[in-house]
Amino acid sequence: MSSTMQKPNHALTQGAIGKTLFLFTLPILAGNVLQSLNGSVNAIWIGHGLGEAALAAASNANTILFFLIGAVFGVGMAATILVGQSIGANNLDQAKRAIGTSLVFFIVLSVVIAAIGLTLAEPLMAWMHMPVEAKPLAVAYLRVIFLAIPFIYVMAFVSMSLRGAGDARTPFVFLAVNVALDIALNPLLIFGWGPVPRMGIAGSATATLIATVLTLAGLIGYLYRSKHFLRIKREELHYLRIDPEILKSLVAKGVPMGLQMIVMSTSMIAMISLVNSFGAHTTAAYGACFQLWNYIQMPSIAVGMAASSMAAQNVGAGLWGRVDRVALTGLGFNILLTGCLVLVVTLFNRGALGLFLPADGGSIEIAQHINHIVVWSFILFGISFVLAGVVRSTGAVIPPLVILVIALWAVRIPFAYGFVHAWGADAMWWSFPLGSSVSAILSALYYRYGGWRKARMLAPAALSVGSADSRTSSADPA
């Protein structure tokens, strides 16, 4: 590893917006591809090696995992925005205060959530009306995943903070290592080999646990060996305490963003609970579609994350003209990239689904029908995601939450449950484009006419704290 100190990157506030946003998006998109590839490969091993009941179990368990991540994810998102604004304003002291405070908060809360989750694994699966044949498999999977929760959270937090500071490459490299380890360990632990016992579906979760622990250790070691400017040095251990002003901002801004994840995950739980009522074939079909949807949504998520980090640095630097151009460029990238994936999935629908479902199992025809109705709506999802990311970069976190609640809990879920008796399963599938349309329209209206440009992450007094220290911190000796 190089001993040269890594310094803050201000490229996000300079140069051509299209090129800069695209180059910053690429490692995020590649990372999303790797994560989804990881999930898909694991689903292939589970679906073909252990059967449709095991695939249904993993789909339900991963829905719970998404919910648990959402419970604390907002703090990480708030820290990312604050780090980005701090780097844009050349205030490294404030960036480290944000990282130290949120890291302590993150670790404690994630351990508590993991402990609670371990005790509630079986009741959760019963509440979600899991098919009888899949319930014990889901519980076994969940109990191992809960052990991995603190490591998953810290890994995600460190990666998000690095992106907020303009470093998208380092998180991608270590995510690639994580995925490679997970993919290699999955068949070994699921099926066993030599002295390694056959663990079944719990082996897939154990592979995730081992891969995450090893990768997180490697990432932390790299940050210190490379003298990364965001590392907390021995003489800076005072940053690893709760700063009241930073914590107030992280909670005030992070809770609404975390609630967005919870709103999404609870709607997913409500939806899959309704899907489960149609039997294991429909649940397996929905799980296979969900794997493909992860890929379709990747460009939108990557562009939205890149646009949010880029906008945050420009907000910190006071470059509002660039913030608007970042939003428009992000929308163009989303429509182009997501539209291409929608076209590919539409043309090769059965072949893609066949990666996850047996050709004669009864689920693949249902999955094809689901995709024909749902996939195009992810272009609209991308519009909402990009605009919400730019809006949140200033600290305006409540309006995107309200829009999401309306789209999911006032439109999508009521429509699915309200029309399921008249339309059957089609009511669930048509609720996706309906909810996405409402979300895109409301997001565009708020971006155009809302007061998001006046929002701030910290009060002016807090922003000035440590500004002199930041010059000292940025002069970190190699």
Does residue 317 contact residue 4 with C-beta atoms inside 8 Å?
Answer: no
Handedness of CA 456, 72, 64, 37 (dihedral sign): positive
Q: How many Cα atoms within 13 Å fall on the side-chain side of residue 275?
A: 28
Percent of the chain at pLDDT above 70?
Answer: 93
Distances (CA, A) of 131 to 53, 56, 170, 212, 358: 8, 8, 41, 30, 19
Q: What is the mean pLDDT of the chain?
A: 85
> What tokens were used for 325?
């151009």
Is the pTM here over 0.85, yes or no?
Answer: no
Lowest-confidence region among 154-168, 407-421, 442-456: 154-168
Mean pLDDT of 91-101: 86
Burial 340-352 (b: 16+ CB within 10 A, else e): ebbeebeeebeeb
DSSP string computed for 186-226:
HHHHHH-BTTBPP-THHHHHHHHHHHHHHHHHHHHHHHHHT
Q: What is the DSSP letter of 412?
A: I
Does residue 83 contact residue 103 with C-beta atoms inside 8 Å?
Answer: no
pLDDT digits (tens, 9 = 90+) for 281-292: 898 899 899 888
Q: pLDDT category, 125, cuts 50, 70, 90?
A: confident
Backbone Cα Rg of the chain: 22
Does residue 226 contact residue 169 with C-beta atoms inside 8 Å?
Answer: no
> What tokens were used for 437?
């349309």
Distances (CA, A) of 405 to 100, 349, 386, 436: 31, 31, 17, 12
Q: Which amino acid is at 470?
A: S
Task: Express the helix, strand and coil content of the chain in percent, nearest 5 each.
Answer: 80, 0, 15
pLDDT digits (tens, 9 = 90+) for 178-190: 999 999 998 889 8
pLDDT at 9: 57
pLDDT at 470: 41
Percent of the chain at pLDDT above 90?
Answer: 35
Does residue 363 contact residue 282 with C-beta atoms inside 8 Å?
Answer: yes
Gap between the Cα atoms of 119 and 115, Å rounded: 7
Does residue 144 contact residue 201 with C-beta atoms inside 8 Å?
Answer: no
pLDDT at 405: 96
Handedness of CA 212, 216, 219, 225 (dihedral sign): negative
Gap between the Cα atoms of 383 and 426, Å rounded: 25
- Strand-pairing partners, residue 6, are 228
Of 314, 313, 311, 293, nearest to 303 by C-alpha is 311
Whether residue 337 has pLDDT greater than 70: yes
Gap between the Cα atoms of 155 and 279, Å rounded: 36
Q: pLDDT category, 200, cuts 50, 70, 90?
A: confident
Q: What is the DSSP letter of 234?
A: G
Of 359, 401, 347, 43, nearest to 187 by C-alpha is 43
Does residue 151 contact residue 293 with C-beta atoms inside 8 Å?
Answer: no
Mean pLDDT of 320-338: 94
Classified as helix, coil or strand, 233 is: coil
pLDDT digits (tens, 9 = 90+) for 355-405: 888 877 778 999 999 999 999 999 999 999 999 999 999 989 999 999 999
